[in-house]
Structure 1
Amino acid sequence: MAAWLLTCNPDVFDIGRFRSDGQVLDSWTIARHKADVAAGDDFAIWTTGPNAGVIAYGRFTGGTARGTVSDPEYWATDPGVRDYVPLEVTEWLDRLVPKSQLAGDPHMAGASIFTQPWAANPHRLADAQWEAIQAAIHASKGEDPNWHLAPGDEIRRVELHERYGGSSQNGISPSRTTNNILIFTAPSSGHQHGYYDTWNEDGTFHYTGEGQTGDQKMIRGNKAIHEHRETGKRLRLFEGARGTVRYLGEWVLDPEQPYSEGLAPATGGGPERKVIRFHLVPVKATITDPDVQIGRSYVAPDESVIPAPATPSAPDPDLAGRNLSTHRRLQNALAEEAQKRGFATLSPGAADPDFDIAWRDAEDRVTVCEVKSLTSANEVRQLRTGLGQVLDYHDQLSRRASAIRAVLWVEREPSDARWVDLCRRVGITLAWPGKEDDVLS
């Protein structure tokens, strides 16, 4: 079997719009090697232009055929009758493999995509070249071997930029020398410019774009974040803006809703303007450094929630409508009781997993708690979800506390008593209103 590289000029064929419209790619036009392509051959798709690189791979499902394209609306000009090869895409990559990475690989030496980039499709790949592309695709899915910070690590910002490039002056700092976009969140300095970043109950983070006056636009750093998948750049989030900053892991834009627009005051409390809020999802942000303090002072969530129906795609059914209002009421009532008994109540800090509430006693022992509303319709699902969440929180925080225990706090006693024993067997205390002594003693 052979291997091929198929090039795509986005100015000729709008592959981005093609994909966003939900179209299925099943063929590619070719102009040479027509007698050589065959079913079972491997291929990779290479997009050209400023963001050049590999965006997908798969296999041909047949030999050369002739006909008209089935999607002329995505072409700048109607290609008419063409030769094409049928294919099946195995995977569209979440992160582009950039041209710069492959151009620096000695195994790609002599590849026609570099020596004859203008040549017609397809480009034949030698075995070593195809293996190099496969290795680069595999590497794009894991951690960058050239990145040496773990979530929770602290570093002086000047040293950070010496290692990984980017400007030391901006909150969004794309690097020209490495494959990273460095992002900094700091309420102490950001609020004066109308930057109100928010940590959300579902574990996501909303990051305000750059632009201190006037409506923010999708340019410069904002554009870099918005296009990070297309450019193959990794989003690296840091807590702090000056001096020593803390790494909070790698994040990606939410593919369903990458950003929203809101209103915020301009620098110094000026008139409101439109701001961009990027919706970031963590890739791997677990922090295990025992020197990183768990939690921050408890912040009571607003219980006055307008009910809205939960959707099948909701990541947690407890975070919508009636469930959300009940969830917050339960959580605040438990926090109030813990405070009355002398415990220091905590909300998640930037370095923590997204627990609902935690508390610390006088001997520095920490309890981490997940809160769940219960109805007859969702009881089993809520208990399963809550148990998994609190086990995960306990595991993540166990190396950062001298002693830690976990609590699953629910709206009422479960209808099936087996849940109490099940939780006990895995080291979790299951309790509900009226059982405060079981968890606050």
Structure 2
Amino acid sequence: MPRWLLHCNAKKFDLESFRQDGHVLRSWTIARYVNELAAGDEFVLWMSGTNAGVIAHGRFTGSAAYGQADPDYWAEDPGPRNYVPLEVDEWLDLRVSKGQLATDPRMTSATILRQPFAGNPHRLSNDEWQAMHEAVEISKGNDPDWHLKPGDEIRRVDLHAQYGGSSQNEISPSGSTNNIHIFTAPSPGHRHGYYDAWNEDGTFHYTGEGQTGDQRMLRGNKAILEHRETGKRLRLFEGSRGTVRYLGEWVLAHEQPYSEAEVPTPGGGPLRRVIRFHLVPLKATITTPKVGIGQGYVAPDESISATSATPSAPDPDLMGRNLSTHRRLQNALAEQATKRGLTALSPDVSDPDFDVAWRSAAGQLTVCEVKSLTTANEARQLRAGVGQVLDYQDQLRQRAPEVTAVLWVEREPSERRWVDLCHRAGVILAWPGQEESVFQS
């Protein structure tokens, strides 16, 4: 039985929009072998262009016939042509790339590689069909050249030695294998305004690369966006240095592959725009990181002076007298929590940068932001504290069923409205002398 290859030039026919608008592909224009095509003949559909490759396969449902095309999705009205009726058996989630096929010796004489602009269809030899069939099956299943299983740990230097890619970047496309390695390490990422998020439905929002200014769809970000078209597999790892843990294979969500958000610029300054890729797990992928929340409380030094405080600290609470007061409040609160039989916590490498948290024997978690107050900075500190503790609460809810948010301040605010505002936002606002109400909550 003859096998064929149909090719699509996206500059002439907008197949992507055709499909997105809900149309079902039922026929294809042909210019050659008109009398040789028959019902039952198998075909692959090839997309030409920068990321050329196989995007679907199926079979013809009848002989070719002459007719008029619907010009809606054509760059120019093609006029009357020969059409072959067909049925697509499967649209591939990952494209079988031209580069991948070109390295197969069975494809040496394939006309789609030697004469890519020849008219449809291209006849495939038995060897060429077998090469494409095997590549399609691999794209739909496990890569036989990939040997890590979800949960496996590997030194990053060994990962790149075996599978390629750069050991320096958080997004690391490989030039030697069919993979894009991506690394999530929440705490280091927070220093650059990165906030990766595990969602309750098992999906994962991964923040793109670019530590200064607005992130753009270039380099690693572009590689992730186009991974379906290039046939690259997204391999997610927990950690970014030393030993990393493989979390499995992921793909971009079809309907909304990414969104954009504004985050603070590291070190202070205007907000900047970041890209958040929406990733969906495949097969036995691990969909939650293997991390607890927090580590044993580490008490900061209260004896810091104004001269030793960091001059460029973006938070005015972390300067001179304010920093010393902040640490005293924080340590005293942690001590009170311990006295009540609670487990006081400091953030671990995978946690947001909260000041102190505590866990009850039953596992209930409270996260707390501490703020010193002066007459001059009160409103600014309260605004910042509410935003910070809500952010911590939101992130930790990915790993804890219930998280209470507390904003602990140096003294009672001068305006009662702050207590009411925090109550409406679901934040407990309290100060020294109100320990019982905080810990009972």
Shift of residue 89 of structure 1?
0.8
Q: 1-side partners of 2:341 and 2:61: how far apart?
A: 69
Letter in 1 for 2:188: S
TM-score, scaled relative to structure 2: 0.65
CA separation of 1:97/1:3 partners in 2, compared to 1, >3 Å: closer, same or farther?
A: same
Q: Which stretches in structure 1 are left out of the alignment for 5+ residues?
A: 300-339, 351-358, 362-366, 368-441
Shift of residue 249 of structure 1?
0.8
Shift of residue 94 of structure 1?
0.6
SS at match of 2:191: helix
Q: 1-side partners of 2:87 and 2:33: how far apart?
A: 19
Aligned to 1:217: 216
Is it true that 1:95 corresponds to 2:94 in the alignment? yes
After superposition, what is the alpha-carbon deviation per residue over 1:272-328, rounded to whole angstroms, capped at 9, x for unaligned?
A: 1221111111113556xxxx99551289xxxxxxxxxxxxxxxxxxxxxxxxxxxxx
Q: 1-side partners of 2:235 and 2:103: how far apart?
A: 23
Q: 1-side partners of 2:84 and 2:19: how far apart?
A: 19
Aligned to 2:2: 2
SS at match of 1:193: coil
Q: 1-side partners of 2:113 and 2:268: how far apart?
A: 52
Aligned to 1:306: none
Aligned to 1:32: 32
Return structure 1 stretches of 4+ with deviation > 4 angstroms: 292-295, 340-345
Shift of residue 270 of structure 1?
3.2
Root mean square deviation, CA, Å: 3.1
Identity across aligned pairs (percent)? 66
Shift of residue 28 of structure 1?
0.8
Is it true that 1:57 corresponds to 2:53 in the alignment? no
Is it true that 1:248 corresponds to 2:247 in the alignment? yes
Q: 1-side partners of 2:344 and 2:193: how far apart?
A: 31
Aligned to 2:22: 22
Aligned to 1:67: 67
Shift of residue 262 of structure 1?
1.4
Q: 1-side partners of 2:159 and 2:283: how far apart?
A: 19
SS at match of 2:177: coil
Aligned to 1:111: 110
SS at match of 1:25: coil
CA separation of 1:188/1:209 partners in 2, compared to 1, >3 Å: closer, same or farther?
A: same
Aligned to 1:297: 293
CA separation of 1:286/1:33 partners in 2, compared to 1, >3 Å: closer, same or farther?
A: closer
CA separation of 1:81/1:268 partners in 2, compared to 1, >3 Å: closer, same or farther?
A: same
SS at match of 2:43: strand
Aligned to 1:309: none
Tell me, yes or no, if the aligned pair for 2:341 and 2:360 is still in contact at 8 Å. no
TM-score, scaled relative to structure 1: 0.65
Q: 2-side partners of 1:2 and 1:342: how far apart?
A: 73
Tell me, yes or no, if the aligned pair for 2:238 and 2:289 is still in contact at 8 Å. no
Tell me, yes or no, if the aligned pair for 2:44 and 2:58 is still in contact at 8 Å. yes
Shift of residue 180 of structure 1?
0.7
Shift of residue 34 of structure 1?
0.8
**Structure label with greater radius of gyration:** 2
After superposition, what is the alpha-carbon deviation per residue over 1:224-252, rounded to whole angstroms, capped at 9, x for unaligned?
A: 11111111110011111222222111111
Shift of residue 265 of structure 1?
1.5
Greater Cα shift, 155-164 or 78-87: 155-164
Q: 2-side partners of 1:166 and 1:293: how far apart?
A: 23
Letter in 1 for 2:189: G
